[in-house]
Structure 1
Amino acid sequence: MRIEDVLSALGTGVWRWDGATDLVELDAVGAGLIGLAPRPQKVHSAMVRACYDASDYVDMSAAVALAVTEGTPCESCLRVVGRDGRIVRTVAMRTYGVHSAGGWPEEMVGTLHEVPAPPGRATGTGTGTAAVGPVDRRRAREAFLLDAGRALAEADSTQEVLRVAAHLSMPGFSPDGLAVFGVHGDHLSVIGHHGQRPGAETPFLEMPLTTGYPAAVAARTGQAVYLPSPEAYEERFAATWPMVRGFGRCSWAYLPLVVAGRSIGAWMAAFREPVAFTPDERSVLTTVARMLAQALWRAQVHESERELSDGLRHTMLPARRPHIDGMTVTTRYVPTGGGLQVGGDWYDVIDLPSGRTALVIGDVQGHDVRAAGLMGQLRVALRAYAAEGHRPDAVVSRTSRFLAGLTGCARTEDDRFATCVYMEVDPEHGTLDVVRAGHLDPAVRLRDGTVLPRRTAGGLPLGIAPDSDYPTTRITLEPGETLLLCTDGLIETGGHDLDTGWKRLRTVLESGPPDDLEALADAVVGAVHGPASHHTAGPLADRRQDDIALLLLRRSADPPVCEVPLRRGVVTVSQTDPREVGAAREEVRALLHDWTCAEQVDAAVLLVSELTANVLLHTDEDAALSAQLRGMPGGRRRLRVDVRDRGDEMPHLRTPGEMASSGRGLLLVQELSDAWGVDPRGDGKSIWFELYEAPAAPTAG
């Protein structure tokens, strides 16, 4: 015999609640005990809640929450209320739930059986019913309002507020149709509804506030509209009555949603049974409308802040996925658990004029709008200095001077400082030129999994002293090794200091996946931060005290074979001896003695002559020429020529007239080269061009 049959024979019903769908599944006995048709069925939890006395339901919810937290079963007595508001019976409900991270289980199961009414509560008469007096009704409604207020206060999104509103079960007159309208300019639109068939909201999706629909009247005037009967609706709103007649409702209440004296929308509650809208009922509806308006306003403000934070974060973090040949880069940014979802932490990946890549990670003091703003300014300034071609120490020094200059010479208590690590990566040799400004030292995970901090020389945080020096430390990353850069949020989260936090982090790094850098980054963040969810509560939420920025850089275990310069030539053409232009031409011609295409050789010599002569003609500086030929004979070789000078004026393409005697140099470079460019340098500029060797012409057979 099945256990369900045994329980049924004993008059005990069985039920199951699914947290994902908010549906309650009852067997025939359980459905009959709470006043539903005595057959197996699956109904919404709001329908079950409407079967119980509201104050009993609130007490039961609190007891279940405590039992779930403690991992124990819970037993409660609830009075079942009929459609006429009279108590039908008292049932004992035994509940079992599984604890979850959100504090409420994903599933609950339990049993129901009828019991005598506890002392002090209304007891049954000879007919099995008892009248509910004014005191009981008042207590029930007070309990309902407390329960509704708690649920609406906990809702943190518009959809969650609408879900709560849809499941409100008012004692004695619960609506079976709800709609929430929002005011947008001079229009009213539906933002959520419940109890209507799909598509039924179409006529009400967008309407002018001046229309004669009751919700528009309530939103426009700030006065509630109560319609106790279809006749009352048709009499007052004849124009819109044909649109609502098909819903089959008998009574309607339209209440304005008002926040700080401003109408933000309207709430409709429709009833299939007639409602007289007594003063008590109107009081309950008005109170619910006020709570609903406040909850919607809070949710909209929260969502606007979140959207602003997301937009700021997306614009302040790199737009492209970091990529360095021969290396793997992985980054993470995790905002703190509450408030503004972007703060002073940042990381960046910068392409340098030299062809190398710079990585930077930093942290502006504080976690507020000012910190986020300063972070954005610092990021732009640092990018600009790096793009000018300065050395790492000069980039950081200039950035520090920039931050100090934002607040003038005299520092105040509101002035902020920032820390950062800036490094220039040479993937060919695995070297990192690191400059540290008051930030945490990097750490290196060796190929055997051992994690060691890599001590680097450092300077003051940015913005403290404008004239500070920032020494450069060169680190060599061996094949298979991983470098870690992070902000202090990764170390000190969860009440740890730098020592204990570092020990925890090192344990995670050493035990993390050895080959998958993405998985290693997830493991590091997950171990110290936990899942970033708005349901997080308790100790996990307390641990989320600061932003986390993380950057991992791994040199490939088997680095790709790099092109080794086959030939190289360097010539300096001085202002005092222009004849050295000829030496530069001969140097390049000698490098290309076995080049397959003679026309390209002539083009290279012509461009060298043009660029070096332009430096002598338009500046007072010497021209430093560097030529590199990469590749092997017989393959597709590449010639790169750089002509550098210390002048600040940047050349640009012009369109000279027919009789002009100058202005054609860059046009010539553009026409004859395969690639070219003008790059700023920290101490001047560089004009470069590249030629790619064409295949040899076939010989006549």
Structure 2
Amino acid sequence: MSDLPSDPPAGRSAASGGDWPAPPALGLALNRMGIFDWDLAQSYLHLDASALEVFDLLPEEYDGTPSGLASRVAPGEGERMDSVVSQALKSGETSYGSYFRVRRRDGSLRWSHTQGTIRRDASGRPYRIIGVVRDATQEIADRADRTEYDTRGRGGTGVVAATTAALAHARSVRDVIDVLRDAHELGSFESSSLVLGLVEAGRIRLVAEGPEYMPGTRLTRIDDPEYPMSEVVRTLAPRFIESADDFAASYPRLWEHVRGFGVTSAAYLPLIAQARPVGALGLLYSGRTRFDSDERNLLIALSSSIAQSVQRALLYEREKDLAEGLQQAMLPRRVPSVPGASIAVRYRSARDGQDIGGDWYDVIPLPGGRVGAVIGDVQGHDTHAAAVMGQLRIVLRAYAAEGHTPATVMARASGFLHELDTDRFATCTYAEIDLTTGVVQLVRAGHMDPLLRLADGSCRRVPVEGGLPLGLSAEFGQLEYPVTTRELDPGQTLLFYTDGLVEQPGTDLDEGLQALADLVHSGPGDIQQLADLLCAAVDERDGGDDVALLLLRRRAADAPRAGARLQQHVAPNDPEALSSARHMIRAAVRAWGAESRGDEIELVADELMVNALMHTDGGAVLTVRILTAAERRLRVEVADASSALPRRREAADSAQSGRGLLLVDLLADVWGVEPRGEGKALWCEFIVPSRENKTPSTPSTS
């Protein structure tokens, strides 16, 4: 039998204010603790009143999402917390905990701690996190006191060990600065101010300053005798200043700036890595007037650890800049303007690490009002993947520009990748869109299906029959890529993307695709704003993979619209066929109201046909059509089976040939050559008078 009373002793409840024992919510609130409930599927994060107080937020300032806390989390802490949560979700852990700093309304920082329990469904997929968040200011202060006590007892080795352990996770110079500032705020250095400078091209640039900016000290020369940082970098020896008089006598110019801070001593330490200086660290003290041998040895050991971290961070940032520069150089520098289409492209590199991926996009203007759209991803996340991506993008663009069909473009690109000296493969989707008719031909090589956003904003997946990834299909001899044909109506948008846009920790691919479709459906109508929204959603997540994104919307207002069309085959050595083709040209000119330019059109068309019959084997196909857009154009095309491209040349006065293309260039408003796989087409266009309120008819050639 328990000795505990079942009811409170008489008078206890009244004496305690009527709320004994205290309810859980009151106990948490009095101890500056709050509760959160995070719905992972809906990305909704509920905070009770006490949790909002920990973040120094008013209820009306919080929107109920994780991103709503961004303004209250110290710089760099958000990414670290995301990494902690993501690791716990991926590894199957049931809980996690971490300290982080909150930036209060007045700009000051204070320590907090969060502890979360992860709820998972029967399949192990996380769907909810329930936990507490609390103010850890006093706890950290108590820990600092214990650290100081232990440090003094162990001769200061605890400070070096703790700081070195923290610096091991620093990947950038900013991370190094944050670690040093944290140690400084916790009292590990016992100094009143901390200054850090880096060596750059014979100068020292301050990257972390004391409590106030000191004019003229942000960038100083190494050979300047007026500054202690320059001295320690120049001599590679530490400089300990043990009195205000020593400081004023040795560095009078700097003393004028620091005397108001009550500085009584200072320690300036060179940061030496691999026998060369990478920077200098300055610690200013108020009240201290001497450094014994143990304290000097402690600071020298600390500077060695900091120097190694700074050098590692500089190397990391240099490699990251190089990798990002390589990636950007491999992507198209600009998106071409395509009549009849609005296009938005985006690329986001992975947030973690200097590694870059092989994600790419491309937009390829094609003749006849067509455009090619490419999205792809080379296996791997390194500079080799980016280099392979660049080569693959160029050859795929070249195959498309040569006029090959989408299936042939994909097959040849796969063969090219297989022949490279690499073991990488690539996934890819290639679409050829005819903006005149809206017909879309899609080919998919192991990539994800695109999405289609309708004019009313609804969004759905576009199933595309696919083949093996590029490189693998050539290796296994399966180069047949089926073509899926769809129609794109005016106002509809095709969305092409890489897996980094849909893959999320703790969710499968179908859930990621559905979340993307929902976001596209609810997103803005402007495709540039929609692209920004999709990238912002990626930035809020873990960001562990690259993302490439291409949106293409068909516009009807300025797209050329095909009117009537006539076509005839002209065989070699067939005068009747040539005469019939000329008769068809005259009939089209009369029917389509182009009589004012009839002679020019007939002369140029005749020149193109004769040129094809004389210089190629086989016949030619003559096509005449009318295009309506901002201005009416009559287009003449002559296609043949030869891949040899014509060239314009200057003919001698007595020459019997060589003036054909000069004549075409003089008479036509615009002309060109289209490679078409196994052949080519010469074309030219003539601006013809507009026919108001009259649809062009199909002329009779009888």
Return the offset for 1:670.
2.6
Paired amino acid for 2:277: S
Shift in CA distance, 334/188, structure 1 to aligned 2, threshold 3 Å: closer
Matches within 5 A, 1:151-162: 152-153=167-168, 155-159=170-174, 161-162=176-177
Shift in CA distance, 197/671, structure 1 to aligned 2, threshold 3 Å: farther
CA contact (8 A) 1:512 1:523 kept: no
Quick one: distance in 2 between partners of 1:578 and 1:689? 24
1:99-130 CA-to-partner distances (Å, cap 9, x unmatched) read xxxxxxxxxxxxxxxxxxx9xx9xxxxxxxxx
CA contact (8 A) 1:360 1:421 kept: yes
CA contact (8 A) 1:644 1:685 kept: yes
Name 1:31's counterpart in structure 2.
Answer: none
SS in 1 for 2:634: strand
1:246 aligns with one of 243, 253, 256: 256
SS in 1 for 2:113: helix
Return the offset for 1:194.
2.0
Matches within 5 A, 1:170-209: 174-176=190-192, 178-185=194-201, 187-195=202-210, 198=213, 200-201=215-216, 205-207=219-221
Paired amino acid for 2:468: L
Q: Does 1:642 align with 2:637?
A: yes
Q: Does 1:222 align with 2:219?
A: no
Quick one: distance in 1 between partners of 2:338 and 2:220? 52
CA contact (8 A) 2:375 2:548 kept: yes
Quick one: distance in 2 between partners of 1:259 and 1:139? 27
CA contact (8 A) 2:502 2:512 kept: yes
Q: Does 1:280 align with 2:281?
A: no
Name 1:405's counterpart in structure 2.
Answer: 419
Name 1:674's counterpart in structure 2.
Answer: 669
Name 2:425's counterpart in structure 1.
Answer: 417
Return the offset for 1:545.
5.0
Greater alpha carbon shift after TM alignment, 435-444 vs 574-583? 574-583
Shift in CA distance, 589/503, structure 1 to aligned 2, threshold 3 Å: closer
1:641-662 CA-to-partner distances (Å, cap 9, x unmatched) read 2222222332334345555554
Return the offset for 1:679.
2.7
Greater alpha carbon shift after TM alignment, 249-258 vs 391-400? 249-258
1:692 aligns with one of 669, 680, 687: 687
Return the offset for 1:161.
3.6
Q: Does 1:435 align with 2:449?
A: no
Shift in CA distance, 456/589, structure 1 to aligned 2, threshold 3 Å: same
1:256-291 CA-to-partner distances (Å, cap 9, x unmatched) read 212233321223334565632322332332233233
Shift in CA distance, 501/270, structure 1 to aligned 2, threshold 3 Å: closer
CA contact (8 A) 2:326 2:383 kept: no
TM-score (structure 1 length as normaliser): 0.68
1:531 aligns with one of 526, 536, 540: 540
The gaps in structure 1 that reach 5 residues or longer are: 1-14, 23-41, 47-59, 80-90, 94-117, 122-131, 408-413, 533-540, 697-701
CA contact (8 A) 2:358 2:379 kept: yes
CA contact (8 A) 2:248 2:255 kept: no
Greater alpha carbon shift after TM alignment, 490-499 vs 353-362? 490-499
Q: Does 1:298 align with 2:312?
A: yes
Name 2:698's counterpart in structure 1.
Answer: none
SS in 1 for 2:403: coil
CA contact (8 A) 2:204 2:230 kept: no
Name 1:71's counterpart in structure 2.
Answer: 133
Return the offset for 1:394.
0.8
Paired amino acid for 1:680: P
Quick one: distance in 2 between partners of 1:353 and 1:554? 18
Shift in CA distance, 200/447, structure 1 to aligned 2, threshold 3 Å: closer
Paired amino acid for 1:65: H
Identity %: 37
Quick one: distance in 2 between partners of 1:687 and 1:628? 14
Aligned alpha-carbon RMSD (Å): 4.6
Q: Does 1:683 align with 2:683?
A: no
1:383-404 CA-to-partner distances (Å, cap 9, x unmatched) read 1101111111110111011111
Greater alpha carbon shift after TM alignment, 323-332 vs 452-461? 323-332
Return the offset for 1:66.
5.0
Greater alpha carbon shift after TM alignment, 252-261 vs 480-489? 480-489
Shift in CA distance, 595/570, structure 1 to aligned 2, threshold 3 Å: closer
CA contact (8 A) 2:379 2:385 kept: yes
CA contact (8 A) 2:651 2:659 kept: yes
Quick one: distance in 2 between partners of 1:615 and 1:592? 22
Matches within 5 A, 1:86-485: 137-138=152-153, 141=156, 144-145=159-160, 148-149=163-164, 152-153=167-168, 155-159=170-174, 161-162=176-177, 165=180, 168=184, 174-176=190-192, 178-185=194-201, 187-195=202-210, 198=213, 200-201=215-216, 205-207=219-221, 214-229=228-243, 241-247=251-257, 248=259, 251-271=265-285, 275-321=289-335, 328-340=342-354, 342-407=356-421, 415-444=423-452, 453-466=461-474, 467=477, 468-478=479-489, 483-485=494-496
Return the offset for 1:158.
2.9
Name 1:487's counterpart in structure 2.
Answer: 498
1:151-202 CA-to-partner distances (Å, cap 9, x unmatched) read 65555543454465467269698555554333334x1232325238656235
Shift in CA distance, 200/585, structure 1 to aligned 2, threshold 3 Å: same
Return the offset for 1:422.
1.2
CA contact (8 A) 2:357 2:380 kept: yes
CA contact (8 A) 1:358 1:424 kept: yes
1:526-575 CA-to-partner distances (Å, cap 9, x unmatched) read 77x5605xxxxxxxx4xx5544444455556xx44865544433344444
CA contact (8 A) 1:340 1:369 kept: no
1:620-669 CA-to-partner distances (Å, cap 9, x unmatched) read 3433332223349xx95312222222223323343455555544433333
Equivalent pairs counted in the alignment come to 574
Shift in CA distance, 452/215, structure 1 to aligned 2, threshold 3 Å: closer
Quick one: distance in 2 between partners of 1:261 and 1:500? 54
Name 2:611's counterpart in structure 1.
Answer: 614
SS in 2 for 1:71: strand
Name 1:601's counterpart in structure 2.
Answer: 598
CA contact (8 A) 1:144 1:171 kept: no
SS in 1 for 2:573: coil
1:510-531 CA-to-partner distances (Å, cap 9, x unmatched) read 963485656666676677x560
SS in 2 for 1:591: helix
Greater alpha carbon shift after TM alignment, 635-644 vs 142-151? 142-151
Shift in CA distance, 658/244, structure 1 to aligned 2, threshold 3 Å: farther
1:214-241 CA-to-partner distances (Å, cap 9, x unmatched) read 4344324432233435765688x7xxx4
Quick one: distance in 2 between partners of 1:232 and 1:170? 28
Quick one: distance in 2 between partners of 1:78 and 1:405? 60
Return the offset for 1:478.
4.7
Shift in CA distance, 563/681, structure 1 to aligned 2, threshold 3 Å: closer
Return the offset for 1:590.
3.1
Shift in CA distance, 442/169, structure 1 to aligned 2, threshold 3 Å: closer
1:483-516 CA-to-partner distances (Å, cap 9, x unmatched) read 444434445432444455555556x369634856
Q: Does 1:654 align with 2:702?
A: no
SS in 2 for 1:592: helix
Return the offset for 1:373.
2.4
Quick one: distance in 1 between partners of 2:664 and 2:406? 31
The gaps in structure 2 that reach 5 residues or longer are: 1-52, 57-70, 75-104, 117-130, 692-702
